[in-house]
Amino acid sequence: MNERITTPYEGRPAVWDETAEIEAPLRLHRSTAPPEWMDYNDHMSESCFLLAFGDNADAFFRFLGVDEAYRAGGHSLYTSETHLHHRHEVALGDPLEMSLQLLDHDRRRLHIFHEMRKGGSGVLLASAEQLLVHVDTRAGRSADLPTHLLERLDAIAATHAALPTPDVVGRPMGIRH
């Protein structure tokens, strides 16, 4: 059996509490940069930033209601785009605090923004802007979100509407002179 990529939240059922206050932004995941994410220079490898943001996304999916049972029903959320900005290198053992902001959504798409900050100092280490699409995994194409997930997204969007849009959102890559 080969090791597969997993997240710390795998197997944990989603629980939505309608009465709970929704954080803006959401703070659902924190971790410590592990040895297997380091390069030869003891800095975090580029692709491991995506693993860290992936763990944060999975925490968000379970907060929202997308867990193994939901996926077994034939639907899931797939990433269609990720735009990373690296601000500072991450060293072995650095405490990582992640936040997640819902920027926008429609019937089948989510636009989200993650920040990774260093625990304690709060220094911004990296950010990730992502587009997710709700898919029918059997048909292999995008599909509308069910009503209960749309209602939850609307509730999150209502509290996140007060947050400023980060300056890098929607900004194209390029060499600026």
Left, alpha or beta for 122 (phi > 0: left; psi -120 to 50: alpha)? left
Query: What are the angstrom distances between the C-alpha of 67 and each of 28, 56, 138, 140, 173?
Result: 15, 14, 17, 19, 33
Q: Are 24 and 162 in contact (CB under 8 A)?
A: yes
How close are the terminal C-alpha atoms of the chain, in Å?
51
Number of residues that this document lists for the chain: 177
Q: Which is nearer to another protein, 81 or 151 (CB)?
A: 81
Residue 10 binding another protein, by CB under 8 A: yes
- Does 38 bind another protein (CB under 8 A)? Our answer is no
Our finding on whether 167 is near another protein (CB under 8 A) is no
Which residues on neighbouring strands pair with residue 109, listed in sequence order? 133
Residue 177 interacts with another protein (CB under 8 A): yes or no: yes
**Near another protein by CB under 8 A, which window of 21-29, 38-46, 91-99, 147-155?**
38-46
Q: Using CB under 8 A, which of the segments 19-27, 59-67, 124-132, 158-166 binds another protein?
A: 124-132
Residues of this chain that interact with another protein (CB under 8 A) are 2-6, 10, 40-41, 45-48, 50-51, 54, 78-86, 111, 129-131, 169-175, 177
